[in-house]
């Protein structure tokens, strides 16, 4: 991007607004932050997947954003990388349950990337195989939302608006009434092992809620699963809760990738207990909130519940907020500017 305003073709499969409840789209917490920041810099962004906000959620955002189902002239293609989901996006178009995200992505790559257009592939779920041909294309820049990206990739984290982080007041957050000791907000995908080790033991001892899509729960009859909740209710749930546990798939842990759950919790004053040691944990989470097993989770949840509203509580929230600095949108824009200006970013 540098000093030149660009027309960016942006492909994502999800929502800019609240969307619908029955969806795993975590990008709602940060996608609009990135798009609005790019637009504020003078770039034009056109969305190249279907308008799910309008088609599925009935929310018309076309007064502020542009969707294009064709193949418009653009300067840069940016993909939130989509991968094969069996029986969903690998089925014939028009078949029951089919989503066309993968087919559309292939069309965009064939039309734009294969023709030599600069392309950014943001592998937000670490699903692009290490041997994939895209990694060897000279005009493709691969980004990962990880503190320690894999070889050949550049760090591009899920962004927080600078103003929102700066406005967060740890004393105000610590002073809120919190009637729930422990929650987990998120889906089951690849998290059973960590759930067994860290969350399930604590669920025997403290009041809790697990909100998200968990299909196989019979092994945890003592756990309260609420099912998916509307996106607009996520912040309210965090604001009434003392602690959460950061449960991450192993591929995230190894690369130091934290999902949007870390800042959804911290910005609401919900303290993020996090399994350690692991790459990047010390950078994002205070030592006092790091845990080694379910027993430590129980101890910390009980201690932090007793400390609610105290100076200790406020200081922990302040420490967590300070460590979110790496997620600022201004930092992510620096990365994108360097990449699209033809330079690798640190």
Work out whether the CA dihedral 37, 320, 323, 167 comes out positive or negative. positive
Provide the percentage of residues in the chain whose pLDDT is more than 70.
98
The pLDDT value given to residue 342: 63
Q: Is the pLDDT of residue 75 over 70?
A: yes
Report d(CA 24, CA 50) in Å as an integer: 17
pLDDT tens track for 258-271: 999 999 999 999 99
The pLDDT value given to residue 344: 55
Mean pLDDT along residues 164-190: 96
Read off the pLDDT band of 2 (50, 70, 90): very low
The pLDDT value given to residue 245: 98
Residue 51 or residue 344, greater confidence: 51
Among 23-37, 71-85, 164-178, 281-295, the minimum mean pLDDT is found in: 23-37
Q: Cα angle at 273 between 270 and 276, to 5 degrees?
A: 155
pLDDT tens track for 117-135: 999 999 999 999 999 999 9
Q: Is the pLDDT of residue 1 over 50?
A: no
The answer to pTM > 0.85 is yes
Q: Is the pLDDT of residue 215 over 70?
A: yes
Q: Which residues contact 9 (CB under 8 A, 6 or more apart)?
A: 46, 48, 68, 72, 74, 76, 77, 78, 108, 112
Q: Is the pLDDT of residue 48 over 80?
A: yes
Of 103, 84, 82, nearest in space to 25 by CA? 82
Report d(CA 118, CA 74) in Å as an integer: 10
Residue 134 or residue 4, greater confidence: 134
pLDDT tens track for 270-296: 999 999 999 999 999 999 999 999 999
Report d(CA 210, CA 284) in Å as an integer: 23
Mean pLDDT along residues 31-49: 97
Q: Which residues contact 297 (CB under 8 A, 6 or more apart)?
A: 182, 198, 199, 201, 202, 245, 273, 291
Q: Is the pLDDT of residue 141 over 50?
A: yes
Q: Is the pLDDT of residue 224 over 70?
A: yes
Q: Is the pLDDT of residue 230 over 60?
A: yes
């Amino acid at each position: 991007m540098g000093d030149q305003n660009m027309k960016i073709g942006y492909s994502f499969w999800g929502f800019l607004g609240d969307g619908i409840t029955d969806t795993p789209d975590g990008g709602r917490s940060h996608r609009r932050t990135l798009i609005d920041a790019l637009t504020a810099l003078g770039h034009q962004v056109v969305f190249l997947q279907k308008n799910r906000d309008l088609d599925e959620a009935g929310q018309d955002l076309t007064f502020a954003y542009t969707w294009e189902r064709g193949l418009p002239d653009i300067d840069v293609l940016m993909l939130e990388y989509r991968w094969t989901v069996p029986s969903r996006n690998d089925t014939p178009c028009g078949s029951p349950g089919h989503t066309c995200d993968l087919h559309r992505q292939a069309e965009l790559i064939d039309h734009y990337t294969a023709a030599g257009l600069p392309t950014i592939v943001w592998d937000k779920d670490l699903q692009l195989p290490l041997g994939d041909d895209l990694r060897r294309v000279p005009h493709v820049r691969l980004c990962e939302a990880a503190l320690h990206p894999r070889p050949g990739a550049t760090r591009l984290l899920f962004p927080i608006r600078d103003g929102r982080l700066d406005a967060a007041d740890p004393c105000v957050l610590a002073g809120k009434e919190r009637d729930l000791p422990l929650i987990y907000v998120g889906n089951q995908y690849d998290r059973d092992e960590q759930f067994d080790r860290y969350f399930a033991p604590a669920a025997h001892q403290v009041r809790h809620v697990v909100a998200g899509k968990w299909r196989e729960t019979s092994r945890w009859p003592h756990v309260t699963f609420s099912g998916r909740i509307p996106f607009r209710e996520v912040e309210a749930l965090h604001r009434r809760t003392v602690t959460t546990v950061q449960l991450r798939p192993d591929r995230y842990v190894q690369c130091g990738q934290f999902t949007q759950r870390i800042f959804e919790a911290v910005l609401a004053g919900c303290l993020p207990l996090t399994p350690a040691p692991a790459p990047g944990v010390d950078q994002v989470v205070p030592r006092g909130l790091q845990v080694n097993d379910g027993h430590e989770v129980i101890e910390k949840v009980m201690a932090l519940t007793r400390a609610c509203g105290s100076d200790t509580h406020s200081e922990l929230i302040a420490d967590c907020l300070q460590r979110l600095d790496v997620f600022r949108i201004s930092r992510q824009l620096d990365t994108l500017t360097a990449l699209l200006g033809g330079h690798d970013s640190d």
